[in-house]
Amino acid sequence: MKLLGGAVAAVDHGGSLGRASALFPHAPRPFVDLSTGINPHSYPLFELPATALSRLPEAGQLRELAEIAAAAYGAPSAAHVAAAPGTQILLPRVASLLRPGKALVLGPTYAEHARAAAIAGHAVAEVGDFDALAEADLAVLVNPNNPDGRLIEKARLLELAARLRAKGGLLVVDEAFMDVGPIEHSLAGNVDEGGIIVLRSFGKFFGLAGVRLGFALADPLTAERLDAQLGPWAVAGPALEYGIRALSDMKWQTDMRQRLAQDAGRLDTLLGRFNVAVAGGTSLFRYLSFPEAPSLFSALGSSGVLVRHFAERPQVLRIGLPGSEAEWQRLEGALVSWAAQREDAPKEIER
Amino acid sequence: MKLLGGAVAAVDHGGSLGRASALFPHAPRPFVDLSTGINPHSYPLFELPATALSRLPEAGQLRELAEIAAAAYGAPSAAHVAAAPGTQILLPRVASLLRPGKALVLGPTYAEHARAAAIAGHAVAEVGDFDALAEADLAVLVNPNNPDGRLIEKARLLELAARLRAKGGLLVVDEAFMDVGPIEHSLAGNVDEGGIIVLRSFGKFFGLAGVRLGFALADPLTAERLDAQLGPWAVAGPALEYGIRALSDMKWQTDMRQRLAQDAGRLDTLLGRFNVAVAGGTSLFRYLSFPEAPSLFSALGSSGVLVRHFAERPQVLRIGLPGSEAEWQRLEGALVSWAAQREDAPKEIER
Is the pLDDT reported for residue A346 higher than 70?
no
A231/B212 Cβ within 8 A: no
Nearest-CB residue to A54 (from B42, B56, B59): B42
Are the C-beta atoms of B216 and B226 separated by less than 8 Å?
A: yes
Peptide bond preceding B182 in cis form (omega within 30 of 0): yes
> Which chain A residues are closer than 8 Å to B244 by Cβ?
none
Is the pLDDT reported for residue A109 higher than 70?
yes
Question: What's the number of CA atoms in the CB half-sphere (13 Å) around residue A224?
Answer: 8
Note the pLDDT tens digit of each residue in B7-59: 456 677 888 888 889 999 999 999 999 999 999 999 999 999 999 999 999 99
A230/B89 Cβ within 8 A: yes
The confidence band for A136, taking pLDDT boundaries of 50, 70 and 90, is very high
How far A350 CA lies from chain B's nearest CA (Å)? 45
Nearest-CB residue to A210 (from B42, B54, B119): B54
Beta pairing partners, B318: B287, B308
Q: What CATH number was assigned to the domain covering residues A55-248?
A: 3.40.640.10
Q: Which residue of B has its CA nearest to A42?
A: B54
How far B191 CA lies from chain A's nearest CA (Å)? 24
Which of B54, B65, B245 best probes binding to A when mutated, by most A CB atoms within 10 angstroms? Answer: B54
Note the pLDDT tens digit of each residue in B296-310: 999 999 999 999 999
A16/B86 Cβ within 8 A: no
How far B119 CA lies from chain A's nearest CA (Å)? 7
How far B97 CA lies from chain A's nearest CA (Å)? 12
A237/B51 Cβ within 8 A: no
> Which chain A residues are closer than 8 Å to B89 by Cβ?
85, 89, 230-231, 234
Is the pLDDT reported for residue A41 higher than 50?
yes
Query: Average per-residue pLDDT in chain A?
Result: 94
Percent above pLDDT 70 for chain A:
95
Nearest-CB residue to B229 (from A18, A51, A92): A92
Nearest-CB residue to B210 (from A33, A52, A228): A52
What is the spatial distance between Cα B81 and Cα B87, in angstroms, rounded to a whole number? 12
B234/A89 Cβ within 8 A: yes
SS3 B74: coil
Burial of B289 from C-beta contacts in 10 A (0-12 / 13-18 / 19+): middle
A211/B238 Cβ within 8 A: yes
What is the spatial distance between Cα A48 and Cα B50, in angstroms, rounded to a whole number? 12
Report, as an integer, the average pLDDT of B162-182: 98
A56 phi/psi in degrees, rounded to 5: -60, 140
Q: How many beta carbons lie within 10 A of that of residue A310, not counting itself?
A: 17
Report, as an integer, the average pLDDT of B324-337: 98
Which of B89, B96, B204, B241 best probes binding to A when mutated, by most A CB atoms within 10 angstroms? Answer: B89
DSSP E strand stretches across B148-218: 170-174, 196-201, 214-217
Burial profile B212-226: b = 16 or more Cβ within 10 angstroms, e = fewer:
bbbbbbbbbebbebb
The pLDDT score that the predictor gives to residue A344 is 78
B54/A232 Cβ within 8 A: no
Reported ipTM: the value is 0.94
A57/B207 Cβ within 8 A: no
Q: Which residue of A has its CA nearest to B232?
A: A88
A88/B85 Cβ within 8 A: no
The pLDDT score that the predictor gives to residue A9 is 61
Q: Which residue of A has its CA nearest to B226?
A: A119
Report, as an integer, the average pLDDT of B265-285: 98
How far A230 CA lies from chain B's nearest CA (Å)? 5
The confidence band for B150, taking pLDDT boundaries of 50, 70 and 90, is very high
Nearest-CB residue to B91 (from A207, A211, A231): A231
Q: Which amino acid is at B270?
A: L
> Which chain B residues are closer than 8 Å to A91 by Cβ?
231
Nearest-CB residue to A42 (from B8, B54, B212): B54
Which residues does B118 contact at the CB level (< 8 Å), separation at least 6?
Answer: B4, B5, B7, B8, B103, B124
Burial of B233 from C-beta contacts in 10 A (0-12 / 13-18 / 19+): buried
How far B114 CA lies from chain A's nearest CA (Å)? 12
What is the spatial distance between Cα B209 and Cα B15, in angstroms, rounded to a whole number? 10
Where does CATH 3.40.640.10 sit in chain A?
A: 55-248
Which residues does A268 contact at the CB level (< 8 Å), separation at least 6?
Answer: A278, A286
The pLDDT score that the predictor gives to residue B347 is 54
**The dihedral of CA B288, B294, B298, B301: what is its sign?**
positive
Q: Which residue of B has its CA nearest to A40?
A: B54
Nearest-CB residue to A237 (from B51, B59, B211): B211
B38/A209 Cβ within 8 A: no
How far B85 CA lies from chain A's nearest CA (Å)? 7
* Confidence (pTM): 0.95
What is the spatial distance between Cα B225 and Cα B85, in angstroms, rounded to a whole number? 16
Note the pLDDT tens digit of each residue in A175-205: 999 999 999 999 999 999 999 999 999 999 9
Nearest-CB residue to A119 (from B116, B229, B237): B229
Is the pLDDT reported for residue A345 higher than 50?
yes
Q: Which residue of A has its CA nearest to B20?
A: A58
Q: Which residue of A has its CA nearest to B46?
A: A50
Where does CATH 3.90.1150.10 sit in chain B?
A: 10-37+251-341
Using alpha carbons, select from B187, B209, B325 the residue that is nearest to residue A238.
Answer: B209
Report, as an integer, the average pLDDT of B274-283: 97
Say if strands A214-217 and A278-282 run parallel, antiparallel, or are unpaired.
unpaired
Q: How many beta carbons lie within 10 A of that of residue B241, not counting itself?
A: 22
The pLDDT score that the predictor gives to residue B8 is 55
Are the C-beta atoms of B91 and B197 separated by less than 8 Å?
A: no
Nearest-CB residue to B58 (from A16, A86, A116): A16
> Which chain A residues are closer than 8 Å to B230 by Cβ?
89
B53/A208 Cβ within 8 A: yes
Is the pLDDT reported for residue A292 higher than 90?
yes
> Which chain B residues are closer than 8 Å to A58 by Cβ?
16-18
What is the spatial distance between Cα A13 and Cα B242, in angstroms, rounded to a whole number? 25
For domain A10-37+251-341, the CATH class is alpha beta
The pLDDT score that the predictor gives to residue B6 is 40
Report, as an integer, the average pLDDT of A267-291: 97
How far B271 CA lies from chain A's nearest CA (Å)? 25
> Which chain B residues are closer than 8 Å to A59 by Cβ?
16, 18-19
